[in-house]
Amino acid sequence: MRIVFGWNHFRLKSFDPVELGLTQQTDPNLKIEVRQHYFHLFWIPFFSLGKKWAIRKNNELYEMPGVLKSTIRSRDDIKVRTPWYTYAGPLLLAVIGLGFIVNEQVEKFQWNQYQKKEFTAEYDRNIGLFRKPSPDDYYLLTAVNGYSQKYAKVTMLNKQQIELSYIANPGANAYEPVKIAGLFTTYADELQSVTLDRGDSAKLFCKNFDDRNALAGIELTANGGETYRVKKIFRLDGPILKDGGFASYMGSQELTMEIANEGYDTEIRKVEPVEGSINWLVDELPHSLPANKEFLLRGRGDFKKPYKVKFTCTTADGREIQYLLEGVNFEKQFIRL
């Protein structure tokens, strides 16, 4: 890249010699000028190199004799200020820098709001599963003051208590629900248990995003007394439908969205509109959807208005599980019914 820099000058003000008291005869071809000299980078003025007086005669520029300069500078009534745009470069950089700072703060605020929204939605899902527990529930526990995580599953429950068995080995790691469930077979000899009272939800679940690091938590002896809170609960008794991440418009009012199955193999038997004016285009039902696979759902209609569609799935043992997809445009979520 070639860097262009240098110096230049421009006229600030023009005087008639009579006005300055240098002569008593007016000459239309003779003017006295104050010229601003400046350093430029890519032709953008960056800073002043001072002002100079010059003589313009017959449209030609000449240097002013020192005697005349001294005469003019001795006058207090002739003051020509350096214009702000002489420093346009630094000002431009300052504006750009300020723009980056503002944009960064806006993005930070938007990300924080998104995190709060997701945190609240996760809390609602978790507390609903905790209040109506199942032996098929798995817990992702996260340290109250730290980043370590533990995987746990329900191994006993009654009206007053829930027993969780958690993997003590810190090397256990997985992301998909089916693979997390598989960890309990891999680390079957490294499980420890903790019993929770049904009334201890305030210790386990943080409702307020800003208070997530101040929760009492539950103590796991396998980690030297480190306290944990519930980050996520998922129920693995069939399919787990979620947003697959891909979505695109085809034409003016046709949307294609990817739906993923994080749970066990299933068959989608029904796709029924519940709300909105969208015609859901399903090629053939029932549709087989294996674990950790996706399928594309198409719909035609007005996606700018809220829409809801219900999926009826069948598990390998013949049980029915239903999910409700609700959203606006590309923003959507799945709710198990």
In the chain, domain spans: 5-82, 117-235, 241-336
210 or 71: which leads in pLDDT: 210
Residue 90 has pLDDT above 90, yes or no: no
Q: What percent of the chain has pLDDT over 90?
A: 23
What is the rounded average pLDDT of the residues 163-181? Answer: 90
28-42, 63-77, 162-176 — most confident range = 162-176
In this structure, what DSSP letter does residue 76 have? T
What average pLDDT score do residues 252-268 get?
87
Looking at residue 76, what is its pLDDT?
67
Query: Which pLDDT band holds residue 224 (cuts at 50, 70, 90)?
Result: low
Torsional sign, CA 181, 182, 188, 191: negative
Residue 225 has pLDDT above 70, yes or no: no
Domain at 241-336, CATH from 1.10.260, 2.60.40, 1.10.10, 3.40.50: 2.60.40
Question: What CA–CA distances, in Å, run from 147 to 164, 170, 231?
Answer: 20, 12, 11
pLDDT of residue 187 exceeding 90, the answer is: yes
Q: Is the pLDDT of residue 23 over 80?
A: no
* Average pLDDT along the chain: 84
Side-chain half-sphere of 292: how many Cα atoms within 13 Å? Answer: 6
Whether 223 shows a pLDDT value over 60: the answer reads no
Confidence of residue 181 (pLDDT cuts 50, 70, 90): very high
pLDDT reading at 116 higher than 90: no
> What mean pLDDT is predicted for residues 167-176?
89
> DSSP assignment of 203-233, as one string?
HH---SGGGTTS---EEEGGGTTEEEEEEEE
More confident position, 229 or 186:
186
Q: Is the peptide bond before 286 cis (omega within 30 degrees of 0)?
A: yes
Where does the pLDDT of residue 179 fall: very low under 50, low under 70, confident under 90, or very high at 90 and above? very high
pLDDT of residue 235: 93
Using alpha carbons, select from 260, 336, 253, 242 the residue that is nearest to residue 296. Answer: 260
The predicted structure's pLDDT at residue 1: 59
- pLDDT over 90 at 16, yes or no: no
pLDDT at residue 78 greater than cutoff 80: no
Share of residues in the chain with pLDDT > 70 (%): 93
Burial of 107 (0-12, 13-18, 19+ CB in 10 A): exposed
36 and 13 Cβ atoms separated by less than 8 Å = no
